[in-house]
Amino acid sequence: MENQTDKQRPIDKLRNGAGSLEIRTPDDDSAISELISTGDRLLEFKAKGIYEIKLADQVDPERMNVATPNTIQRVIPYGLDAPWVSAVILTAHHLFQSSCSPSEIDGVTAFALVLKMAEDIAGAHQLEENYRKAEEVVTKNLDPKIRKDRSFVVPALGNVESRCNEWIMHCGNCSDLFECSTQTLDRVAGRA
């Protein structure tokens, strides 16, 4: 009598078998603090980043390529070391998954909006950090004294306007998503 596992292809045996992943990057070997499944995404929260884990079946659902690996990708370069991550993302997750959230609210969709906002918040933080580093480099060797010829070298960072516009865009995206989500909540609550 043939066993069900005898009929499986090698790829099926591999994908159906048990496995483990090591979630470590060169700059973040901290412990996993939180693991959140959103239905289609598995997110892992560590000290220096938020990572998305995709199993091979998510990448290759037809199971055509035995070499398709499970993947780990840092999707937000800020983790629980950044206070805003807990304040925004984890608070929203616990709120939308709790009994405090009205039953009319789709917690998964609401949390997906919060994740989109978090990506823009992270983008704005990155721009600010990059600006500060660039400013530090430009001013590092600056002599703040007026020279004998009565001239002074003014540091130039370059692209300041485009940097500011990009920062404003990230903040605007957050604001738009927040407004959209509050309008949805108002409709659900019958206040619109």
Kindly state the percentage of the chain with pLDDT values over 70: 88
Note the pLDDT of residue 162: 87
Non-local (6+) Cβ contacts of 29 within 8 A are none
Non-local (6+) Cβ contacts of 159 within 8 A are none
In this structure, are residues 23 and 51 in contact, taking their beta carbons and an 8 Å threshold? yes
Range of 4-13, 20-29, 65-74, 146-155 with top mean pLDDT: 65-74
Mean pLDDT for the chain? Answer: 84
- CA-to-CA dists, residue 138 to 1, 74, 127, 143, angstroms: 76, 30, 16, 11
- Dihedral of CA atoms 91, 95, 97, 103 in degrees, nearest 10, equals -160
Note the pLDDT of residue 186: 64
Report domain extents, the chain: 1-81, 82-192
Triad 33, 37, 43: Cα angle to 5° = 50
Residue 75 has pLDDT above 90, yes or no: yes
Residue 12 has pLDDT above 70, yes or no: yes
Overall average pLDDT of the 3-23 stretch: 81
Question: Residue 153's pLDDT band (boundaries 50, 70, 90)?
Answer: confident
